[in-house]
Amino acid sequence: MNTILVTGGAGFIGSDLVRLILDEEPETRVLVYDLLTYAGNLDNLKGYLDNPRLEFIKGSVCDRDAVGQLLASRDVSHVINLAAESHVDRSILGPKGFAETNVLGTVVLLEAACEAGVKRFVQVSTDEVYGSLGPEGSFSEDSPLAPSSPYSASKAAADHFVEAFGRTFDLPVLVTRCSNNYGPFQFPEKLIPLMILNALNDEPLPVYGDGLQVRDWIHVRDHARALLAVLRQGDPGKIYNIGGGNERTNLDVVRSVLQVLDKPESLIRHIEDRPGHDRRYSMNSSRLQAELGWQAGTPFDDGIEKTVQWYVDNKAWLDSVTTGEYRSYYSAWYSGGRTVG
């Protein structure tokens, strides 16, 4: 029985991956390592915490001694690094924490993985490392990196370290870069759950600028399946783009949420655009599809309807994560005269 270490495994994407592995790989143990900051939540793993193949340990990826002991003592065979500060807005408010967790934390994991002799190390990155795209075309794995925000800069730096450890120390590394995720258990600082939360409460829905920024949306379960495919079948040393093939403007996404909830578009409030806001992302996932046989299986209209319904049905979860810290962040970011229409 092999053991997969999933850092950030109590977060949005990490917890979905953990649930998928436990459901579909009966011969695999999962070790979740998570600091349980504001977006990490053991309720995301409710119903799985008593599984004998799951072990949870609270800790920071920046703690070199703890990480090294963890990999050595648990006979970890594979690592999937999902531990990250991941919200662009917060990176503008405080870049230093993003450099610490996303860059230093990744280096700590890489060093420990080399010492432990892990079989595979998967670095989970983002399409945002490529920067902004024009109205045509899609990012390939060979597209140059041109990050626009402190968040994307930290992820690009981490990607470089991962590739360097592969070349220098022969660590079997793989990098994935995914488009915008949505689905259950996503912390409501991100666009879709934020719009759902505010619409449910009949509060204004803040939309940056003209709202015509384009993102490629993918359901979190499709992303989790892609990560598992890369872990099991990917070619070490390679990068794999992961896209849902669902390009939508932010404004169209917001309108979709309102339509499902039967709420009026008058709730939309256009606010001052975010500094350095990329205009368009689009991912070419042909390498992943051709080499590993992966396909995104969730049409956006179906996925968004089910996602909205999940938040409606799980209002207690939503209430539990929108307490003091969330309200402080929301007030700090969205106050101060940002509304423009």
The residues assigned a catalytic role are: 127-128, 151
Helical axes 150-169 vs 105-116, angle rounded to 10°: 20
**3-state SS string over 112-181?**
HHHHHCCCEEEEEEEHHHHCCCCCCCCECCCCCCCCCCHHHHHHHHHHHHHHHHHHHHCCCEEEEEECEE
Do 184 and 220 meet the contact criterion of CB atoms below 8 Å apart?
A: yes
Do 50 and 79 meet the contact criterion of CB atoms below 8 Å apart?
A: no
Structure tokens at 169: 């120390």
The whole-angstrom separation of Cα 45 and Cα 301 is 26
Do 292 and 227 meet the contact criterion of CB atoms below 8 Å apart?
A: no
Q: Which residues contact 288 (CB under 8 A, 6 or more apart)?
A: 226, 229, 230, 240, 241, 242, 294
Do 181 and 244 meet the contact criterion of CB atoms below 8 Å apart?
A: no
Question: Count of alpha carbons within 13 Å of 5, Cβ hemisphere only?
Answer: 33
Would you give the DSSP letter of residue 25?
-
Q: Which residues contact 240 (CB under 8 A, 6 or more apart)?
A: 141, 174, 175, 176, 177, 226, 230, 234, 285, 287, 288, 292
Q: In whole angstroms, how far apart are CA 224 and each of 12, 24, 29, 183, 228?
A: 11, 12, 17, 11, 6
The whole-angstrom separation of Cα 147 and Cα 156 is 7
Dihedral sign, CA of 228, 231, 233, 239? positive
Bridge partner residues of 247 (DSSP): 216
